[in-house]
């Protein structure tokens, strides 16, 4: 508990210090130490933001739909592959086959089934 309170106050003190340093920088016009350390990466981040803005400028309704469809195809293909692998692993065991058949309704139905519908299915002759 005391650790969380200490972390909160240290973070609050850091935020206040950064605000005061920025205020001093704006008033005097001289960059602070933090600004001078980060000035080397300004071109890098500017290039990234410019590329993102250029990419977003190409997106209209048609390209957004095409992008969403492309994303959906690849996501669904990945999900289907996981499903197919899981089903194959499940059905490869005899207990899994029995459960799959029961879920699909292909299992054996006793003549004294739980419902009228199941009793009717059990009584009808199977055509092979």
What residues contact residue 109 under an 8 Å CB cut-off, 6+ apart? Answer: 118, 121, 122
Could you give the 3-state DSSP secondary structure of residue 125? coil
In this structure, is residue 50 part of a structural domain? Answer: yes
In this structure, is residue 23 part of a structural domain? Answer: yes
What percent of the chain has a predicted confidence (pLDDT) above 90?
41
Residue 4 contacts residue 17 (beta carbons within 8 Å) = no
What percent of the chain has a predicted confidence (pLDDT) above 70?
88
In this structure, is residue 104 part of a structural domain? Answer: no
Cα distances (angstroms) measured from residue 47 to each of 20, 44, 123: 29, 5, 75
In this structure, is residue 10 part of a structural domain? Answer: yes
Lowest mean pLDDT of 2-11, 47-56, 102-111, 117-126, name the range. Answer: 102-111
In this structure, is residue 5 part of a structural domain? Answer: yes
Mean per-residue pLDDT over the chain, rounded: 85
In this structure, is residue 122 part of a structural domain? Answer: no
Report pTM.
0.38
In this structure, is residue 45 part of a structural domain? Answer: yes
Residues spanned by the domain of 21: 1-58
Residue 100 reports pLDDT greater than 90: no
- Give the separation between CA 25 and CA 32, rounded to whole angstroms: 6
Count of domains forming the chain: 1
In this structure, is residue 99 part of a structural domain? Answer: no
Q: For position 78, what pLDDT does the model report?
A: 94
Count CB atoms within 10 A of the CB of residue 58: 7
Beta strands in 1-128 (DSSP E): none
């Amino acid at each position: 508990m005391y650790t969380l309170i200490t972390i909160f106050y240290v973070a609050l003190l850091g935020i206040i210090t950064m605000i005061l340093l920025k205020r001093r920088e704006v008033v005097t016009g001289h960059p602070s130490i933090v600004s001078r350390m980060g000035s080397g990466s300004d071109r890098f981040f500017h290039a990234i933001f410019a590329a993102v803005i250029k990419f977003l400028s190409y997106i209209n309704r048609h390209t957004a739909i095409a992008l969403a469809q492309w994303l959906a195809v690849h996501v669904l293909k990945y999900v289907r592959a996981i499903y197919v692998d899981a089903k194959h692993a499940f059905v490869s065991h005899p207990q899994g086959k029995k459960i799959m058949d029961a879920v699909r309704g292909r299992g054996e139905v006793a003549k004294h089934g739980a419902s009228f519908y199941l009793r009717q299915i059990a009584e009808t002759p199977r055509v092979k």
